[in-house]
A and B are shown apart, each in its own frame.
Chain A
């Protein structure tokens, strides 16, 4: 038998061996190999020690009324109105597969909005429109001022007549 440590199958082999689930042929081969290979012997002993340490944790006793409590819960559920079952449905797990698709759609939509040239053009033209209106108003005001300045001042007599 090739040394399991060299073949890279040591872990699986030792674990199955210690757990007692190794196929009989492989078990015989390994048992022939162990006495001649110190490293494998150490690995098997370490695995066995860990396995036995875990055996210390024996199962705890179960409450006597476990079944009674469960049947009580079932009876309560069955007595409750049917619409309440809707709240107990595992909606989260039902919709979970759709979450990545929804996220991808959302990301695509954002990318579309950000990068769409029409939308960008539309938004930039709105700004340009605002700017041009302001500029036109300002230009008209300037022209009014210039007209007033350039108009000839009325004669003093005419002015007094008007008053």
Chain B
């Protein structure tokens, strides 16, 4: 999984795209990564516990981060992520590398998150949104040199972004999180959500439209 590819600073020009050779090597790395996942899972099927550990190391962070942004509660997201990997482990005997491993993994994660949201459990976590922000603040502080004022501005912006994403319908939210933060393409998101690519584009169009209007003042 390619991480941190699309982060741009405000001072960047409108064209932060990598060169063709960089992109080719990225794609080759992605293909190798997919083959590696399938290979590891087949080894898990054959009873190799170390391969499961390797899979966990590779995918733990993206799955938890996705679930955290979906449910906006760290404890719940870790609990759901545990369930995701438990289900992967339980299904090892019947695993067939017919689809991308990450698509399968995120399908389980999305299914669990959507069920959790549908069951109305997110109301409790919404109550603790402020608590979650504080919790995130202590965990997310990357730049220790930020002044108190900068920290307050950052927290205010973060709260607005979280709120804007929270207000999206669950399926739109899942599509945006996979597209924006997990850098999945339309086909993969469609595979996860079980819909067509055009349906994904439509979901993303509406979601980004809402986000643009809600976050317009932040620019």
User: Residues on A close to B: CB < 8 A?
Assistant: 11-12, 15, 17-22, 24, 27, 31, 34, 44-63, 66-67, 69-70, 73-74, 77, 88
Residues on the A chain within 8 Å of B180, using CB: 19, 51, 54
Considering the chains assembled together, what is the distance between the CA atoms of A15 and B207 in angstroms?
A: 12
Closest to A57 in B: B161
Q: Determine whether B20 belongs to the interface, using a CB cutoff of 8 Å to chain A.
A: yes
User: B82 is contacted by which of A31, A54, A69 (Cβ under 8 Å)?
Assistant: A69
- Asked if A63 and B161 sit within 8 Å, CB to CB, the answer is no
> Would A58 and B140 be within 8 Å (CB), given that A73-B82, A88-B90 are in contact?
yes
Across chains A and B, which 7 residue pairs bring their CB atoms closest together, nearest first? Answer: A49-B219, A59-B65, A61-B139, A53-B215, A20-B17, A53-B218, A50-B212
Residues on the A chain within 8 Å of B104, using CB: none
Q: Could you jot down 24 A-B contacts, CB within 8 Å?
A: A11-B201, A11-B208, A17-B17, A18-B14, A20-B16, A20-B18, A21-B185, A45-B14, A52-B219, A53-B211, A55-B8, A56-B157, A57-B69, A57-B158, A59-B181, A60-B65, A60-B139, A60-B140, A62-B60, A66-B60, A66-B78, A69-B82, A70-B86, A73-B82
> Would A60 and B136 be within 8 Å (CB), given that A22-B17, A55-B7 are in contact?
yes
> Would A53 and B219 be within 8 Å (CB), given that A19-B6, A77-B86 are in contact?
yes
User: B142 is contacted by which of A44, A46, A58 (Cβ under 8 Å)?
Assistant: A58
- Asked if B10 and A62 sit within 8 Å, CB to CB, the answer is no
Residues on the A chain within 8 Å of B211, using CB: 50, 53-54
Q: Min CB distance, A100 to chain B, in Å?
A: 16
User: B216 is contacted by which of A19, A22, A46, A54 (Cβ under 8 Å)?
Assistant: A46
Interface of B is mostly: helix
Residues on the B chain within 8 Å of A60, using CB: 65, 68, 74, 135-136, 139-140
> Would A74 and B140 be within 8 Å (CB), given that A56-B158, A59-B61 are in contact?
no
Interface of A is mostly: helix
Considering the chains assembled together, what is the distance between the CA atoms of A54 and B204 in angstroms?
A: 14
Q: Determine whether B152 belongs to the interface, using a CB cutoff of 8 Å to chain A.
A: no
User: B86 is contacted by which of A11, A46, A57, A74 (Cβ under 8 Å)?
Assistant: A74
Considering the chains assembled together, what is the distance between the CA atoms of A77 and B64 in angstroms?
A: 22
Considering the chains assembled together, what is the distance between the CA atoms of A45 and B13 in angstroms?
A: 10
Closest to A65 in B: B78
Residues on the B chain within 8 Å of A20, using CB: 5-6, 16-18
User: A54 is contacted by which of B16, B18, B161 (Cβ under 8 Å)?
Assistant: B161
Q: Determine whether B38 belongs to the interface, using a CB cutoff of 8 Å to chain A.
A: no
- Asked if A66 and B82 sit within 8 Å, CB to CB, the answer is yes
Q: Determine whether B162 belongs to the interface, using a CB cutoff of 8 Å to chain A.
A: yes
- Asked if A56 and B6 sit within 8 Å, CB to CB, the answer is no
Residues on the B chain within 8 Å of A53, using CB: 157, 160-161, 211, 215, 218-219
Residues on the A chain within 8 Å of B165, using CB: 54, 57
Closest to A50 in B: B212
Residues on the A chain within 8 Å of B10, using CB: 52
Residues on the B chain within 8 Å of A70, using CB: 56, 82, 85-86
Q: Min CB distance, A4 to chain B, in Å?
A: 14
- Asked if A62 and B64 sit within 8 Å, CB to CB, the answer is yes
Q: Determine whether B25 belongs to the interface, using a CB cutoff of 8 Å to chain A.
A: no
- Asked if A31 and B15 sit within 8 Å, CB to CB, the answer is yes
Q: Min CB distance, B89 to chain A, in Å?
A: 6
Closest to B9 in A: A52
Residues on the B chain within 8 Å of A15, using CB: 204, 208
Within 8 A of A (CB), among B155-191: 157-158, 160-162, 165, 179-181, 183, 185
